[in-house]
Amino acid sequence: MGKLFIVPTPVGNLGDITMRAVEVLRSVDVILAEDTRTSSVLLKHLDIKKPLKSYHKFNEHAATESIARTIEQGCDMALISDAGTPGISDPGFMLVRRCIECGIEVETLPGATAFVPALIDSGLPCDRFCFEGFLPQKKGRQTAFMRLAKEPRTIVLYESPHRIIKTLESITEHFPHNPRISVSREISKKFGQTIRGTAAQLLDHFGAHPPKGEFVMVIEGCDPKRADKEEGREEEE
């Protein structure tokens, strides 16, 4: 029986890949990639020549079973995403779960994720936090903000440049404690940037500097005592 390796890849600088990740990618029989064109650039940089097979959100339901069967037959495979660790807002969960059900050994290597450096850079408490990934785009979005407004832990979100303005506006609307926010983009890249402030201050910034790149948002949690007082006022009204 083969084995499945979950291999993190750099979120920015190609030099961030670990020696262990390179070793595994060179040793497996097949590499499963979210986008074979993107992954080919990295593999060429590392001088790794292995068969690439697509595994992404549009084919993971159909492909998971056949991949698991191939691993059962003795093929070692590594799963990589375009950037970061597979399974963290990227395909991977379904394949890991199916391999476990089939008794296939799964080994996840430690490595790059965008939210960890963004969380630490924020200057907000990182001993306890909740990771929400991408919030719903439509259905359930308002409910999610109402729930998170009462979250006492630091909140970590992923956001696209097309929705970050709307997200900041929703925070202004639903978060009565006016939280401190840190927004990081292009992590580990040449033009990486972190901006900190309130939602209103960040809206002013993006009004003057249109958002570009993928963002990690880190939001200050609320004071539970303050949240209880706000809820009490709403009930009285």
Cα dihedral 182, 183, 188, 193 sign: negative
Token pair, residue 105, equals: 């050994």
Domain ranges of the chain: 3-108, 115-231
- Which string of DSSP letters, residue by residue, matches 107-131? EEPP---SHHHHHHHTTS--SSEEE
Q: Is 231's pLDDT higher than 80? A: no
Beta carbons of 90 and 58 less than 8 angstroms apart? no
Q: Is 235's pLDDT higher than 60? A: no
Domain 3-108 has CATH 3.40.1010.10: yes
* pLDDT, mean of residues 206-235: 78
* pLDDT, mean of residues 222-234: 59
Q: Which of the four pLDDT bands, split at 50, 70 and 90, describes residue 128? A: very high
Q: Is 80's pLDDT higher than 90? A: yes
In this prediction the pTM is 0.87
Report which of residues 123 and 229 the model is more confident about.
Answer: 123
How far apart, in whole angstroms, are the C-alpha atoms of residue 201 and residue 190? 25
Mean of the per-residue pLDDT values of the chain: 93
pLDDT at residue 236, rounded to an integer: 53
Strands 181-185 and 215-219: antiparallel
Q: In this predicted model, what pLDDT tens digit does every residue of 178-199 receive, in sequence order?
A: 999 999 999 999 889 999 999 9
* pLDDT, mean of residues 213-228: 83
Q: Which of 109, 108, 113 is nearest to 158 (CA)?
A: 113
Beta carbons of 154 and 218 less than 8 angstroms apart? yes
Q: CATH assignment of 115-231?
A: 3.30.950.10
